[in-house]
Structure 1
Amino acid sequence: MNIYDKYLPKNKHDFDRVHKLKKMDRTELLPLLPGLMEWVQDMNWPIAEEVAQLILTFPNEIVPLVKEVFKTNDDVWKYWCLEILVHRLPMESRQLFKDDLIRLIERPTAGEKYEEFDEIAIKILQTIV
């Protein structure tokens, strides 16, 4: 068991934990970000949007976490990271994804092509060029 598990949501309906997280100090939340990222794997989960909003208050800190998700084979998680996180990041943070966006447009994997990542990437890239 991770020492941070007692702070993270237990299930997709655990709004109580999410509300407690929102009241925590930023320094306390930083080590929880990797665990919170898992809650944007499926934006159909009831707490996913609130968790995403919380994560987005750490634009610089989540850039490497999103880049790690992009290295996985979880195309649904990558999709939500693009659509919900990268798309909503401030301009300075979005710019850090320029190379990733170009790769998604020019050399998407079969799964990324199926999920139409290239179209999302174009849309995001147009906001930073």
Structure 2
Amino acid sequence: MDHTEIIPRTKFDNERANQLENAKKENILLVLPQLLEWLQDINWPIAQDIGDVLVDFEDHLIPHIRAVLNSDDGGWKFSFINPQSHSLVQSSQPISVRCGFT
């Protein structure tokens, strides 16, 4: 399977979001930035499922999340600091703190 096949196409692409759970780690690492984009809006139906998968890749995501936190996208930033959003934020040490933002 081509690694790009695991990237959801729409915010309702539950099939691909569910495939992430069984995808090879190497394939997920290749598309981390594209998967992270699906966390731009915590209200999107697949956001929580993708966050649940990405929590296992926190260390690899830090540079990408730093870029988001340094951006002008307030909504996307909010998804990384709101404790009610997704699994990446609800981990033992908040991702925003691990990225150097407190």
Pairwise TM-score range, normalised by the shorter structure? 0.7 to 0.9
Moved over 6 A (4+): none
Q: Which amino acid aligns with 2:90?
A: R
**Corresponding position: 1:65 with 2:78:** no
Q: Aligned equivalents of 1:96 and 1:72: distance in 2?
A: 17
Q: Aligned equivalents of 1:8 and 1:27: distance in 2?
A: 14
Task: Spell out, residue by residue over 1:44-88, the C-alpha distance to the aligned partner (whole angstroms, 9 max, x if none).
Answer: 111111011111111211111110101211000000022236532
Question: Which residue in 1 is equivalent to 2:53?
Answer: 54
Question: Which residue in 1 is equivalent to 2:29?
Answer: 30
Higher RCO (CA 8 Å, separation ≥ 6 residues): 2
SS in 2 for 1:100: coil
Tell which structure's C-alpha radius of gyration is larger.
Answer: 1
SS in 1 for 2:89: helix
Q: Aligned equivalents of 2:34 and 2:55: distance in 1?
A: 14
TM (norm. structure 1) is: 0.66
State the identity as a percent.
Answer: 24
**Corresponding position: 1:100 with 2:90:** no
The alpha-carbon deviation at position 7 of structure 1 amounts to: 2.4
Q: How many residue pairs get matched? A: 98
Structure 1 residues not aligned, in runs of 5+: 102-129
Q: Aligned equivalents of 1:60 and 1:96: distance in 2?
A: 9
Question: Which residue in 2 is equivalent to 1:87?
Answer: 89
Question: Which residue in 1 is equivalent to 2:15?
Answer: 16
